[in-house]
Amino acid sequence: MPGAEGLDEILEMTLRNGADLRSVNRYRGTALIPASEHGYLATVRRLIEAGVDVNHINTPRWTALHEAIVYGDGSERYRQVVTALLDAGADPSIRDGAGRTALDNAQRRGQTAIVSILRGHP
C-alpha cells in the first residue's frame, strides 16, 4: 500500500491505474489509516480526494482519526491531518475498541491543540 507509506509518486501511479480504494492491510484498514498514523499530510489529502472512506474502522476498532491521535504526537503535522480528516467528514463520535472517542484519546494523551480542534470543529 504505497499510500500507507507516504510514497506519493507510487500512490499517484496506482490511482491512475484503477487502485481499489477499499483495499485493506493485515489490520483490515485502508491506506488512509496508517498514512494518518504517520502524519503523511499530502498522502492523507490525496487519499481523501480519491474517495477513501474516512470513517473506515480497522480490526483494532480505530479510524484514521483515532490513529492520528493515538499514534501521533499532537505536533503541527498531526493537527493538520486531524483537521483534514474532520473537513472530509470524519466522525469524531465513533468509539474505539475501548469505548473512547477521538476527543477522549486526545485528552488522555494531553494533546491540547487537537482537543481544541475537535471541540471547535462543526
Rounded (5°) CA angle 86-91-93:
125
- Give the pTM: 0.85
For the residues 87-96, what does the mean pLDDT come to? 98
Cell numbers for 15, please give them: 490511482
pLDDT in tens, 33-90: 999 999 999 999 999 999 999 999 999 999 999 999 999 999 999 999 999 999 999 9
Q: Where are the domains of the chain?
A: 2-120
**Most confident residue range from 4-13, 20-29, 59-68:** 59-68
Q: Answer yes or no: are the C-beta atoms of 68 and 99 closer than 8 Å.
A: no
**Phi/psi class of residue 110: alpha, beta or left (left: φ > 0; alpha: ψ in -120 to 50)?**
left
Correct CATH for 2-120 of 1.25.40.20, 2.60.120.10, 3.30.70.60, 3.40.309.10: 1.25.40.20
Q: Which residues contact 16 (CB under 8 A, 6 or more apart)?
A: none
For the chain, give the percent of residues with pLDDT over 90: 74
